[in-house]
Amino acid sequence: MSWNLYLAFVPLALSLLLFRSRQSSSGAAKLSRSWFWWLQLLAFLAFLPNAPYLLTDVIHLFELSQIPNSIGIILLVVVPVYLLFMLAGLEAYVLSLINLGYYLNLMGWGRWILRAELFAHGLCAVGIYLGRFLRFNSWDFIKKPHTVVSSVSMILGSFRELMIIAVTFVVLSGLYWMMKSVTLRILVKRSSGVASNIQ
């Protein structure tokens, strides 16, 4: 889970570089971007599913619960640690999309924020399925793109796989909206507290 948590913070770091950098927050955002910016954007999209992917590590709790005489340790130690890791991954996902929304708003594309969020949820639902069930990694998009594309084509032709992805999409969307609401309230309170201290 430590490795998964590290991967979950990669898209958050990339979102800060892409959407919150000094260049984009200067108030004069430009439509033209360098090839390196677009390369970072592709990396951001490739690694984004790693953040909510931590939620699926809950299956390991069920595996651990089968170990005899381990209920006390699981309830007092393992469950809190797993919940903390999953919450951190979800929060990294929420902050990444908040940064994306900030950038879209700055560019005058605020009306696209909801669509971008829904696209991200759909992308992550597919990515989570590829990672959890087919055991793909983010770098497989570079190492073996043809295999990934053929696997996605296979998924699109299977009702069972599409239903799993659809349920993942709905669950992820619901958790995102709840977490985003809480996060924005905290950020607003924090910024108003800083402003009052300056005054």
Q: Tens digit of pLDDT for each residue in 126-137?
A: 999 999 999 898
What's the first-to-final CA gap in the chain, in angstroms?
Answer: 43
Give the number of C-alpha atoms closer than 13 A to the C-alpha of residue 57, restricted to the C-beta side.
Answer: 23
> Would you place residue 198 in the very low, low, confident or very high pLDDT band (cuts 50, 70, 90)?
very low
Rounded to whole angstroms, what are the CA distances from 154 to 61, 80, 139, 157? 30, 37, 20, 5
Least confident of 56-60, 118-122, 148-152: 56-60
pLDDT at site 167 = 97
**Tokens of residue 113, six digits:** 């924020």
- DSSP classification of residue 55: G
pLDDT at site 145 = 86
Mean pLDDT of the chain: 86
Q: Is the pLDDT of residue 14 over 60?
A: yes
Q: Is the pLDDT of residue 195 over 60?
A: no
Q: Is the pLDDT of residue 64 over 80?
A: no
| pTM of the predicted protein model | 0.87
Radius of gyration of the chain measured on its C-alpha atoms: 19
pLDDT at site 31 = 55
> Would you place residue 196 in the very low, low, confident or very high pLDDT band (cuts 50, 70, 90)?
very low
pLDDT at site 199 = 43
pLDDT at site 68 = 65
Nearest to 19 by CA among 113, 111, 89: 113
- Average pLDDT, integer, range 10-24: 84
pLDDT at site 67 = 65
Q: Is the pLDDT of residue 197 over 50?
A: no
